[in-house]
Structure 1
Amino acid sequence: MKTQAIMAVAFASTLVASPVFAQDRAGWPDNFTVGTASQGGTYFAYGSGWANFVAENLGVSGGAEITGGPMQNMALVHTGDLKFGLTTMGPGRESMEGNSPLAPGMKMDNVCAMFPMYETPFSVTALSSSGITAISDIPDGATIGFGPAGSTSDTYFPRMMETLGVNFERRNGSWSDLGGQLQDGLIDVVAFAAGIPIPAVSQLEVQTDVNIIGMTDAEAKKITDNFPVSEFTIPASTYQSLDKPSRVVSMWNFAMVNCDMPESFVYEITKLTMEQNERMVSIHKAARNSIPENYGKNNVLPWHPGAARWFNENGYTIEASKIK
């Protein structure tokens, strides 16, 4: 299973006012890498910024690695090839149950939850010049970009489109690449699943006119009835192309860690992340939801003991049966 080279590496910074170096560091790694997804997507922006933040404050060099997204991250963290990763609950459940298309039959149960990230909305983007303003407008046989192979979008959005009666040709690629193909008229639609604002969509609407397409009442109900998602509203302020809120569906994301990582290391990372939300929001606006109150959105992964200790110390109860 191959991943691309590490794209962002951060080392302990002397510019940080008060890095935390006084902990029990028994067993701590010299460095760490977090599995993200393709460039142009929220995972890479969030993951690389978060890795830098942790490295600066804990004095352990770290960085982000481009991967195929949640499914591959689950596999890489389970095997220990990467110690940290980002995933959505749907791919997380399939991987835990041994239903990952990357390794059928392998139950990836050495992956533990660390903290809540944000919801991933599923939304459709087309050029305004296409005349596509609704999912029902997507022409028969349209070419749709679903993101990197094995990503959350690629895993679920094709099935959603089929459920809504859309007949399409499938295209995979990084979000940046698919955005370029859409702008050049090489594909008809991009079906995005990423935290908002999606960097590739923000870049697109600077360069051309786009339609960001939501779901009707009937479409949203049909999807929530058939998939592990809930209704979600993209605020109009998210993109300059929206003049009113856009109703879609979404799935929760969590940061995860190999269950064998030292408890004290995971505790300090969780503490740092959960107690400095303002700094996290400066990395990516989607981190507005990276708050401890959302810990209960995890109903899939066991909790790492280090993460669970921080939540339990701060009034967010995680039962012993849910801790690895």
Structure 2
Amino acid sequence: MKMFFTSAAACALIAGAAHAEQHEMDREGWPESFTVGTASQGGTYFAYGSGWANLVADELGISGGGEVTGGPMQNMALVHTGDAAFGMTTMGPAAESLAGENPIAPGLEMTNACAMFPMYQTPFSVTALSSSGIESIDDIPEGARIGFGPAGSTSDTYFPRMMDTLGVEYERRNGGWSDLGGQLQDGLLDVIAFAAGVPVPAVSQLEVQTDVNIIEFTEEEQQQILDNFPVSEFEIPASTYTTLEEPARSVSMWNFAIANCDLPESFVNAVVDVVMSDNERMVNIHRAAQSTVPENWDKNTVLPWHPGAARWFEENAGADIPDDMIHGN
């Protein structure tokens, strides 16, 4: 019996050593640290992105974290050039960047930013102070000061065009979500037009401090936007904010995490595994991560997949990704 346990222990040691050696082999070419391009503080990108960056850093034993950026357009540029290993973007800005229409570098086709995993949908929503009397899009007065988020963000790229389509005349303001929330509260803005995963931290903060109106689109307004922009129907659940008594009609655009296409396949595969294999951990980071589930891989119809990410979804989610949608094929 003693010989049996000794032999079993020896086998376990050999197996453990082999596993450790395999683990080391898998790490060939891995960076010593990484950053995730997010967006401004007070927005969902920053909270969500910093959260998964820290989770991956802890799980893989690598130094990493979120970085404040101008949002999806800048993240596409940073990841394309390799200045950031990872980032987060929205399908609209991703398509524009691939086509060479990113305002940060006009004419540069940003084809070295690859899809990594689905995050969540970004609803477009409008918030005003209750004291303003603004309860609908029609109520927004001519020349209203509207905060559209950081310059170059998804919100700043699409919401002004949406407002134009709906016939709203406004004064355009930019800034981080937290700053804009403060300006709304101080009466320096009339409205904030948010494009961010819900709940938007800045709106949740405003609700605690003052009375706000979360303004939904009418059916006609929603249809006008659906007809003119790369978005889909969405309802902001009533449980999202204490202010909402029933779901609010909206539209949304999908967000994906992106990786520099030159990163080692094994590294990206390991990162995707950390994020996608335990949804509960992600939801603890941000409630928007309820949509960060494997079956949403098919919401990417724009970006080439990183080979390491594609392999994870093929092996774990039964994904059928066309060869021409995988980078390097």
- TM-score tier by shorter-chain length is over 0.9
Q: What does residue 70 of structure 2 align with?
A: 68
- Give the match for residue 15 of structure 1: none
In structure 2, give the amino acid aligned to 1:68.
G
Structure 1 SS opposite 2:187:
coil
In structure 1, how many angstroms separate the alpha carbons of the residues matched to 2:260 and 2:32? 16
Shift of 1:272: 1.4
2:185 to 180, 183, 186: 183
| Residue in structure 2 matched with residue 17 of structure 1 by the alignment | none
User: Which structure has greater helix proportion?
Assistant: 2
Q: 1:1-16 maps to which residues of 2 (within 5 A)?
A: none
Equivalent of residue 109 in structure 2, options 104, 107, 110: 107
Aligned AA for 1:59?
G
**Structure 1 stretches lacking a partner, 5+ long:** 1-19
The within-5 A match list for 1:147-296 is: 147-296=149-298
* Structure exhibiting the larger radius of gyration computed from Cα positions: 2
1:89 aligns with 91
Alpha carbons 1:116, 1:297 under 8 Å: kept: yes
Check if 1:323 corresponds to 2:326.
yes
The answer (yes or no) to whether the contact 1:229–1:250 under 8 Å persists in 2 is: yes
Deviations 1:115-161 (A, max 9, x none): 00000000000000000000110000000000000000000000000
**Counterpart residue identity of residue 325, structure 2:** K
The runs of 4+ residues in structure 1 deviating greater than 6 Å are none
1-side partners of 2:160 and 2:27: how far apart?
45
Taking the aligned partners of 1:61 and 1:115, their CA distance within structure 2 comes to 21
Q: Give the structure 1 partner of residue 29 of structure 2.
A: 27
Q: Match for 1:34: what amino acid? A: V
Distance in 2, matches of 1:203 and 1:188, equals 17
The number of equivalent residue pairs is 305
Corresponding residue SS for 1:264: helix
> How far is 1:271 from its partner?
1.2
Instruction: For residue 144 of structure 1, give the secondary structure of its aligned residue in structure 2.
Output: strand
Q: Offset of 1:22 from its aligned partner?
A: 5.7
Residue 320 of structure 1 and its aligned partner are, at CA, apart by: 1.5
- Structure 1 residue 21 displacement after superposition: 5.7
Residues 34 and 64 of structure 1 are in contact (CA less than 8 Å); yes or no, is this contact kept in structure 2?
Answer: yes
> Which letter maps to 2:222?
A
Distance, in Å, in 2 between the alignment partners of 1:107 and 1:242 is 42
State the match for 2:138 in structure 1: 136
Cα distance in 2 between the residues matched to 1:110 and 1:86? 14
SS at match of 2:26: coil
CA distance in 2, matches of 1:136, 1:237: 25
Q: Is the 8 A contact 1:215 1:247 kept in 2?
A: yes
Other structure's SS at 2:262 match = coil
How high is the TM-score relative to the length of structure 2? Answer: 0.92
| Paired position in structure 1 for 2:125 | 123
Residue 131 of structure 2 aligns to a residue whose secondary structure is helix
Distance 2:23 2:232 in 1: 41
Equivalent residue for 1:305, pick from 304, 307, 313: 307
TM superposition shift of 1:319: 1.9
Deviation of 1:102 (Å): 1.1
Say if 1:223 and 1:24 are closer, same or farther in 2 by CA, change over 3 A. Answer: same
| CA distance in 2 between partners of 1:21 and 1:246 (Å) | 48
User: Which residue pairs with 1:13 in the alignment?
Assistant: none
Q: For residues 107 and 256 of structure 1, what CA distance do their matches in structure 2 show?
A: 15
Q: What do the CA deviations read for 1:254-292 (whole angstroms, capped 9, x no partner)?
A: 000000000000001111111111100000000000001
Aligned equivalents of 1:23, 1:317: Cα separation in 2: 28
Output the CA distance in 2 between the equivalents of 1:281 and 1:73: 23
Q: What code does the residue aligned with 1:134 have? A: S
Letter in 2 for 1:27: G
Secondary structure, aligned partner of 1:51? helix
Cα-to-partner distance string for 1:40-73 (whole Å, 9 max, x where unaligned): 0000000001000000000111011100000000
Alpha-carbon contact 1:21-1:59 (below 8 Å) kept: no
Match of 1:44 in 2: 46
Q: Partners of 1:152 and 1:319 in 2: how far apart?
A: 28
- Is the 1:21–1:58 contact (alpha carbons within 8 Å) kept by the matching residues of 2? no
- Other structure's SS at 1:116 match: strand
Q: Is the 8 A contact 1:42 1:196 kept in 2?
A: yes
Q: Which runs of 5+ in 2 are unaligned?
A: 1-21
